[in-house]
Every structure is written in structure tokens, then in C-alpha cells.
Structure 1
Amino acid sequence: MSVPSSTRPQDPAAATLPPLPARRSATRRRRPLWRDVRRDWRLYSLLLIPVVYLVIFKYLPMAGNIIAFRRFRAGGSMFGDEWVGLRYVQKFLEDPAFWKVFSNTAILGVLSLIIVFPMPIILALLLNEIRKTWFKRFVQTVSYLPHFMSIVIVVGMVMQLVSLNGTVNSIISALGGDPVNFIAQAGWFRTLYIGSEVWQTVGWGTILYLAALTQVDTQLYEAARIDGANRLQQTFHVTIPGITPTMITLLILNIGTFMAVGFEKILLLYNPLTYDTADVIATYLFRVGLVSNNFSYATAIGLFEAIIGLTLVLSANALSRRLVGSSLW
């Protein structure tokens, strides 16, 4: 015996849902942005200062790149007096001195990615294995301190340590060797720069990785131990994959600043005797632009450097998204 449709029991949940097309249209409709801003204006107001900063100090100065294609003279028009096209671009492409500083910049950038970038990861992994809380906090505090020092102080300490009468040469002399003038030898500059970068940044760089390590599911470690994995195997198969997205994000950001190696530290640490390995694009621009007053030529080189940085970060992001499945955007 069939039950009439009017007397069949109805699902109460189904009675409250609108028809399927109506639900789809409701999900497609988005609330206007001005309504979100009006409702959450206190949160959006926090963006005001960063946006103003970016507009004034990052976007408006980009208009000055026009003088890379115009002849700029001090006291003349802010955007140059006459159009010269690619004259300054051709000039630095044919300049042997530019390619020398370009190679120095690339070498320091590669060394920073190979040596400086992995150090915070290694330190964070080591700290994660420490079970003594007091010792872990002590190591973190000591490693953080150099980050808060001024670059002038850091360079002064490096020069004092490696000077002819410094601590390093005192140890060399005590061991029977001859003192080495590290500051005046071009071959030692890259070692001094990379070593000081590791000492100054390794502790501060561990903060993000230690925060990422707290998000790794502890049940994964329990499952790994049940499967017989030791501490080293747990690190390679659980810990490192857990912080890989953070590592990829920071790597892409570091690649984006590949050509912008530390200008202030190099400017304070180098001297004419070490130009052969120490002179980079940033210091070359300083001498050409501000010392020699050749602003158009310096702007053309700076624009070229910015294009390389943009190309590198876009390429690294696309490659990471394709190979690893994680990217910055």
C-alpha cells in the first residue's frame, strides 16, 4: 500500500534549507568591501600606518627611476633635463668595473644562501632536542643578543678581533704562527663577512623555526617511535617536513634580496685594499651616485639590480610551487 506524498514524513533539516539554486546564488554573492571596512574599521585602521609608509617610501620613489633614461643634473629638473634613452644602460653593460662588482655580489649572495640561511634551521633543530629548559633558554638568549647590536658595533668588534694585535692573531702567535693582516687582505673579506653574518643573525632567525616546530603534530612522533624510528630519523621524516612551508617561504624571501647584500656592513668593513672581493653593487652605487654625483648612471644600475631581484623571486616562487607544492603566493 503506497503512502500519499502529502502524508509522508518530512526531514526537518531539509525543510529549513532553501532550494539548491538559491543556496548557490547565496554563496556566490560577496559582501561589498566597504561594508566589511565599516563593520571592522578598527582592524582595518591598523593597516593605515604600514600603507602610508609603503606609499611614501616605497612606491612614490619609484617615479625617480625615470632618470635612468634621462640626463639628471644637480639643480635641474627632478626628473632629468633631457631624454637619453638606454645610454646609461649600455654604459654599465660595457663597464668592466660593473661586472666585477656584479660577480662579487653574486658570490656573496650564493655564500649567504648556502651558509647563512641553513644555520638558523640547524640551531632550531638542535634546540628542539634539548630537554633542559634552563639550558635551552640560556642558549637562545646568548644567540639572540648579537641581533640587537648596531652594525657599527659588530664591525668594530670584528676589526678588533682580527686586527694585527687582536685576539685571533694573539692565538696564532701563541701557536707559533705569523700574524695575518685579515682586514687588508682581499682573500679574507668574504670569510669575515659571512662569519659575522652567521654570528649576528643565526639566533634571531631561529624564532620563526622554533614557532613552526611547535605546530608539528606530536602524534607523528609517537607513530614514528612505534615504527622504530630513532631521534635522527624522526628529525628527517617528521620535523623537517613539518617546517618545510616556513623554510620555503623564508627561502623565497631571501632569494628576492639575493643581490641586496648587507650594504652597511660592507661599507664599514671594506677598504681600497679589499675592493677586489669586497666591492658589491650597493657600495659601487654609493661611490658612483653620491660621491661622483652621477645619479642617472647609478639609477640605471639600481633599476637593473631590482629587475634581477624581481625575476629571481618570481622564478623561485613558481619553481617551489611546481616542485614542492608550497609557495609564497
Structure 2
Amino acid sequence: MSAPSVSSRVPLSHEIHDDLNRRHFVGAGLLTVLLAGCGAPVTTSGRPGAGDPWEFTDDAGTRIALPAHPRRITVDSFVCGALWDYGIRPIAVWGRTTAPGGTVHRDLGDADLSTMDDLTGEAITEVNLERLAAVAPEIIVTFAYDGSPGWTAESQFDLIRGIAPVASVDIGNRPVRDIFAGFARIAEALGGEPSAEAIGTARAGFDAACERLRVAAAQRPGLRLLAGDLDLVQGTGLWVNTPDWPLYALLTELGVELVNAGFAEPSFVSEELLTEQRADAILLINSNVDPAASYDSPVWQSLPAVRAGQFAWPDQPPVLYSYDNYARLLDRITELLTASRRLDPQ
């Protein structure tokens, strides 16, 4: 089976993909003006400050050397919640910060948006460069995807690096536990506490949730799960990722049989193709809608898993790499599998 592919640069959701295509190029001359209005520019050598010199090599192999420990930290929304759990308190954030209706976006986890400047530009994938320069960060922490910048276009990313050094945490196609370790490593370097009792408790909760899902999957041999992002904007259907996407790889490791295994690249699966998937249960990820109330498509309603009520849309975003978040997400999937049964071929 084949399906139209989407950009593999940031294959996290169609929302990001759309906004990447809507960005406006910001000229290098603008950066000069912005920095001129904010005093001396923050270069890759950092800003002067008290304390011992600070060094860190990020997941991309970029070495950052500063004359003092960075205190003024700006982040994107995909790293904010994970770092917050370790006690890191950024001064500013950009990205998916607010949800429809003005509530704090769930991607931020437990982070308190009211304590940070929201630097999101006209699109969620843009940072307001003027405001970024004004908050004078000493370091900027962003996510990367297989080495590529996350929220920002290459053109804007270069300008951001002219304001302050950028350290990235790669959340691309690698094991979830490795991503957790990447966040713990940079959090510790920034002054966080990966060894704190609360982190140990959360890690144990994640391990326990993994085991519960492993048991549930073993008790449902042959039950096929389709996991994807419900699309109500570009067209009816699901966006799915590749089998090595962190959440999918974790589910496979725990014994869940994914229908998604047939996709070699991030793809949009139209409703017509959904009918060919033979899924016994459907997991909607990154979906901000209740499909039972908002998705009244006849094709969707005709899917065997939907007719049987064997679908779920967890509140926990898979891009929030927090032990607590993932424990809750896995428990929702366990509940879905436990409540589902194999469906006869239609």
C-alpha cells in the first residue's frame, strides 16, 4: 500500500508541516537592527557573568562554551515541559504554547506559561526575533529531528544562533529512553536535578506502565492497532509516522502489533486507505478534538474499529518526553487494548 508522503524534515504532525511551509524569510539585516537595539549581541561565546566557565556538547555534536553558567534560558515548546520536570525554569518559550480557546497547550506539560515570555511569532513555527533579542537569553534550547532544526526554518534558525548559542535535544527516530536520557543530560548541565526523588518516582512509574502495556498486549495476540494523527484541516484521514518513530518503536518493543508497520515514510492516509488497514483499534495522537463529537464522516463512522467503539484520543502528547506524561499515555493505550477485541474481517 502506498500513500502520499509528507516532508520527513519534521514528521511530527501535519500542523508543524503546514506551518513550516508558511514561514516568511527574515533577512540577516533585520537581525543586525534587532541586536543593535538590545545592546551588545549575544554571540556563540556567551554573555559575561559570574561563575566558572560552562561547556556542553549537544546531541548534534555542537560544543557550546560560555564564560559562566547560563541562567537566562529560552526554549521551544517541545523541550519546555521535559526540562521543567527537572527544575529548569526558562525565561521565555515559543511554539505550541496555547491551545484553541487560549488555554495552555498540553505540549507544555506542567510548565507555568504565566512565568515565561511567549515569543511565538505569526505561526507556531516562528519565533519573534525582536522579542527574542529583547529577553537576552544566554542559551537557547530547542528540539531537533534527526539532526535538523525543529520549529524553525533554516533561514530563521541561523538568525536565532546569532542572538544566543543554541543547544538541541534530538527527538528523532531513536528510542524513547534515549530521548529521556538526552533531556536529563542537558537538564543536569543547566543545573537541573535528574537524581531528584520525584524524577526517580516518575521513572519507576514509566517502567511500571511499560510492563502493564506489555502484559495487556500479550493478552491480546493478533489485535492490530492503528496509531495516527486525526486530520480535520487538510482532509479526512490520519497522518502516520514511520515504524522507528519513538512512540511506535516503543509500542512495538512492548508487543503491540501496529498496522503502521507498512509505512516507509511519514504519510497521510486518506479515509479510503483507512478502510484497507484492517485495524481492530485506533489510537488518535496529537489530536485536539473528540472524534465522536467532531468527526462525523460517513467513512470514518463505517470503520469497524469505530463502529465497535475501539478507539481513543489520549490527552497526553507523545512529543512531551516526560516520564509522567509517557506513563499516563501508555496507561491509556493499555486501557484501549484491554477494552478491545479482534474484529472479524469485513
Tell me which of the two structures has the higher relative contact order, counting C-alpha pairs closer than 8 angstroms and 6 or more residues apart: 1
Question: What TM-score results when the alignment is normalised by the length of structure 2?
Answer: 0.22
- After TM superposition, the score normalised by the length of structure 1 is 0.22
Whichever structure has more helix as a proportion of its residues is: 1
Q: Which has the larger radius of gyration?
A: 1
